[in-house]
Every structure is written in structure tokens, then in C-alpha cells.
Amino acid sequence: MKRSTSTLLMLALLAATPTVFTACSKNDDATEIIDTDIRTNLQGEVKDGQHLVLESGTYKLNGPLIVKAGGKLTIKPGVIVEATPFKGGEEIRYIAVAQGGQIFAEGTKEKPVVFTAVNKTQQAWGGIVLCGKAPINKGVTASAEVSSLTYGGNVANDNSGVIKYARIEYSGYSYNTEKEFNGLSMFGVGSGTTIEYVQVHEGSDDGFEWFGGTVNTKYLVATANEDDQFDWTEGWNGTNENWYGKEAASKGNRGIEADNNSNNHLANPISNPTIKNLTLIGRGEAGAEPQAMKLRVGTKANIDNVVLSNWSVGFDVEHNEGIKYVGDGTLKVTNVKFDKVLTKSKGTTTSPGKDPVTNKDLPGLPADVSAIYTENANATGAGAGAGVPEWAKGWTVGL
């Protein structure tokens, strides 16, 4: 029998390492926490057997919130998690779910869950990090570049929870070029996890990034993120539908940046997602040569029903492995509508080696990769061509 959610419980916050506690029993479901303290000081750890519920209103995120193995974080529709400003020496605010932990951030179209910041600027906080037990090609397991949590394994259907009808805004803090938060970072996340109707808006790095894993997604929106709107690496394999990405007028790098493994282009499992119904809208700056899709270091992909609008380059394929995959059909994009795209495709082989004088990599040679795509003037992309699809209206911002 579930206890009444109107009961106020004590929340213990330790000064050094704040920890969230919840009352549970073997006969009852985890009791939901409703306490004013966590509204003004949300941080710490949700440990094994504990269940933290954010019931309503706004909660101030004052430091990292880590959901450990066996812990659970539930966020109800309409809740706002707002990261507070941090000063030198303070920990970056972010939410991370460790292997074996779970998050259930389930909003609705009318009441999305919103992860945002007091300062409405990029890099205002870290973002959300999920670490699962699904396969990666960096090793059997690895340590996440942010949060330092372990990820990877052999549980393809691992379940990190549900994120649905949620917005992630003003995230993407950068420690250095090798350690950067994205909006939603998915490290070895398994196919038992649900990621649907999620927007990442105004992040300083990538919107969505997959580091291996098998998680599937639907209805993703990435807007005005500083680097790539979508990014994958380390052997991600997932089935996806309905992605809409749009760069800001003055910033943004690529619609998609896709890798397999930069140290070993043939590492298994090879990145090979399936994506159906995709729209990518760029800035249209010819001099900067932004690409709708940069496909490199051995990734494969099967992408269908695509609209590319306002890009200098549609498909940019790098390295011998990718060029081979274009030839054998394991890297392909079918039913593409080009709208104001100057160069539809370009390819570059792997560098032949080092320059004996400068010791820098010599440039690769141009390659014909036009076989990567087939055209269809009637392609609809994410649902409305270059326009905003109906499914993206009502719960998003910045469109």
C-alpha cells in the first residue's frame, strides 16, 4: 500500500556531501518526498533503495545530483529544475544517473518537465548525463568524460528510465576541449530506456550525444546549440524516428557529427544507427562551410526521408572506411530533399601519413561519395519539410 504523498518527510542534507534519503519498506512502494528544503537546495546523491520525487513547482539545483545504482529520481509534469549560478571553486550543477540508477522525467505536451538555469545563457550548468550498461567500443567499460561515472557493458536492453516531454536549456559547460557537457549525454545507454519528445536548446556544445549504447529515440528537437545538434560515437546502434535540428542565425557547427572510434575506426560494435524522418536546418554561411552531416572515422548509418535546408555541404564523408561503406551501401541516406544546399556531397580519404618536415598529418585526397544519397523532391523530413513539424509544437521553445 502506497503511503500518502501529502506526508512531509525529513530530508537530510549533509554539509560536505549532501545526500537525499527516502523512507521505504519491503511491503510499500518508495515514499515520495515533498519537502521545502529540496526546493531551495537540490543536490547530493540518491542512493540504493531511495526514491526522490520532485512533485510540483520549481527546484533550485545547487550542485551535482547523482542517482546511484538502485536509486530512483521521479520528476512530475510541469516541474522546473533550475540550476543556480556557480562561482569559482564551486561544483558545476548537473544531473547524472549512474549504472543501475533510473530517472523518470515524464512531462506532458501541456506540462513539460523543464531543466533550465537562473542565468539564461549557454554554459549556465552542465546538463543531464545517463550512464548505462549497454555495449560500447571504447572498451568493455569506460569512464564518462563528465561525472567520471562508469558506463558500458553487455546489457543491450539496460533501462535507465524515461525522459519524455522534457526541455533541457542553457547547458553544456566546458572544462576543456576533452571534457565538455552536452545537453543530454547518453553513455552506453540501453534500449530499455525511453527518450521521446525531448528538446535541447541553447547549449554550448552538442545538443544530444550518444557514446555507444543501444538506446532508441523518437521526437527529438535540437535548436541553437553551439556545436553539433546531434552527435554519436563509440559504437552507438539505435532505431530513431523524427528528429528536427535547427541552428541559430549566428552560431552552430553541424547538424550531425558522427564517428565510430577515433583511435580504431574498425572497433566493434560499429556505430550504425537507423534514423527515419529527419530535418536539419543550417545557417547558410558559405565561407564557414558548415555541413549538414559530417560522417567520419568509420561510422555506418541508414537514414531515410531527409530534408536539408540552408547548408554549404550536405554530406561530408571522411576516411577510407566511410568511403568503403558508401560503396557497399552500409552508409546511406535515402529520399533526400536538398533546399539551398551548395554542395550535395564531398569525400576525403584517410591521410596518407605524416609530412616529413612538419610531422603533421598530410591531407587526404578528394573522393566521390555521391552514392551516399538518393533524392526525393517530396521528402517530408521530420514532418513538415523545412518547417516546424506539428509534433514539435506546444512544448518546445525557440522554433
In angstroms, the CA 197 to CA 91 distance is 29
In this predicted structure, what is the pLDDT of residue 288? 64
- Radius of gyration, alpha carbons of the chain: 21
In this predicted structure, what is the pLDDT of residue 270? 98
Nearest to 255 by CA among 211, 299, 210, 308: 308
In angstroms, the CA 41 to CA 24 distance is 22
Q: At a CB cut-off of 8 Å and minimum separation 6, what does 7 contact?
A: 31, 34
CA 382 to the chain's CA centroid: 18
**Cis status, amide bond into 135, omega within 30 of 0:** no
Q: What are phi and psi of 322, to 5 degrees?
A: -65, -40
pTM for this entry: 0.91
Q: At a CB cut-off of 8 Å and minimum separation 6, what does 154 contact?
A: 133, 135, 140
Identify any residues that bridge with 334 across adjacent strands, giving them in sequence order.
Answer: 304
Furthest-apart CA atoms within the chain: distance in Å: 75
Domains observed in the chain: 41-392 (2.160.20)
Alpha helices in the chain (DSSP H): 36-40, 320-328
Tens digit of each residue's pLDDT, the chain (399 residues): 333 232 223 233 333 334 444 434 333 444 444 455 899 999 999 999 999 999 999 999 999 999 999 999 999 999 999 999 988 767 889 999 999 999 999 999 999 999 999 999 888 899 999 999 999 999 999 999 888 999 999 999 999 999 999 999 999 877 766 677 889 999 999 999 999 999 999 998 889 999 999 999 999 999 999 889 999 999 999 999 999 999 987 777 899 999 999 999 999 999 999 999 999 999 886 666 789 999 999 999 999 999 999 999 999 999 999 999 999 999 999 999 999 999 999 999 999 999 999 999 999 999 999 999 999 999 999 999 999 999 999 999 999
Helix (H, G, I), strand (E, B) or coil at 370: helix
Identify any residues that bridge with 80 across adjacent strands, giving them in sequence order.
Answer: 58, 114
CA 350 to the chain's CA centroid: 28
